[in-house]
Copies of this chain bind each other. A is one copy, B any other.
């Protein structure tokens, strides 16, 4: 169930310490231009290398397996992957008797009966988001001239995200954050009824990003504290422009042409350096757990380009449902 999309179908694969992670994109129109440097720029944003992100140094260089020739998509499935090189087996281990709090150790161990590859988080690793970013690259081309941009708007509850991250680093701890994504020039009239509304489609993909545990559109949870007379966005022209945008550019699950706004909550990374007490299943008693190795103080820092990509993937699919793989995409 690693696939999302009806027409523009994106499938993630790979494990953190396996040979590679990557993505299959099926249903991509033929003829889209591919510039390696452009994709590398997106991938670099994901990698971070900012204060508060870890030191794992992968080149993240994309390898093209299929679907591109002469720097254009061919219409056949696109497969891109990147090799995993820089992992230190000592940092992580296979299942131990102490499942780490906040990680998939316990649940994956139970579900996959001990067969899953949990080194470095395995298939549950944030490294899988490489494929989301790679797919987002092509989705953006399909959505052009839409402009999609996301930023970390809050960390540890503060707008001054740097201060919050610094404080987490000082205590060897991790901190959560909020990332907001805005889409300008969004195609108007996309989004299908019920479970394929813009919110449902984008919500599903956004929740597919590890560590995302909340998603809201427009005013979102703030609107639960508001009144209809204040929340409604009055139209001010015949083309659907509104004076406010509490709806985040969506009415009835369909884009109205105003900026699309989505915000996600990113939980603090489970791999905190602060010592924890948790259950040792072998000894049958509580135990001390100290997580070593390199870890992000604020994984939310990496999320903007991933969220942009997730949004692009969802919107590209909705656009193609409306207008087809080979239909015109401007309207």
B3 in contact with A267 (CB, 8 Å)? no
A-B contact pairs, 25 of them (CB 8 A): A2-B77, A2-B192, A2-B194, A11-B11, A11-B24, A11-B77, A12-B194, A19-B63, A22-B65, A31-B115, A66-B123, A103-B251, A104-B253, A107-B189, A107-B255, A108-B252, A156-B227, A173-B228, A176-B224, A195-B204, A203-B215, A219-B267, A228-B270, A232-B272, A236-B279
CB distance from A324 to the nearest CB of B (A): 3
Residues of B with C-beta under 8 A to A265: 216, 220-221, 223-224
For the complex of A and B, 3 pairs with smallest distance between CB atoms: A104-B252, A327-B327, A157-B225
CB distance from A267 to the nearest CB of B (A): 4
Contact with B along A209-227 (1 / 0, CB 8 A): 0101111111111011111
Interface size class of A (residues with CB under 8 A): 35 or more
How many copies of this chain sit in the oligomeric assembly?
4
CB distance from A263 to the nearest CB of B (A): 9
One of A53-61, A67-75, A142-150 contacting the partner: A67-75
B65 in contact with A20 (CB, 8 Å)? yes
Residues of B with C-beta under 8 A to A191: 107, 111
CB distance from A229 to the nearest CB of B (A): 4
A50 within 8 A of B: no
A69 in contact with B214 (CB, 8 Å)? no
A308 within 8 A of B: no
Question: Which partner residue on chain B sits nearest A204 by CB separation?
Answer: B204
Residues of B with C-beta under 8 A to A218: 213
Question: Which partner residue on chain B sits nearest A313 by CB separation?
Answer: B195
Contact with B along A224-253 (1 / 0, CB 8 A): 111111111111111010100011100111
Contact with B along A166-204 (1 / 0, CB 8 A): 001001011111100000000011111111110111011
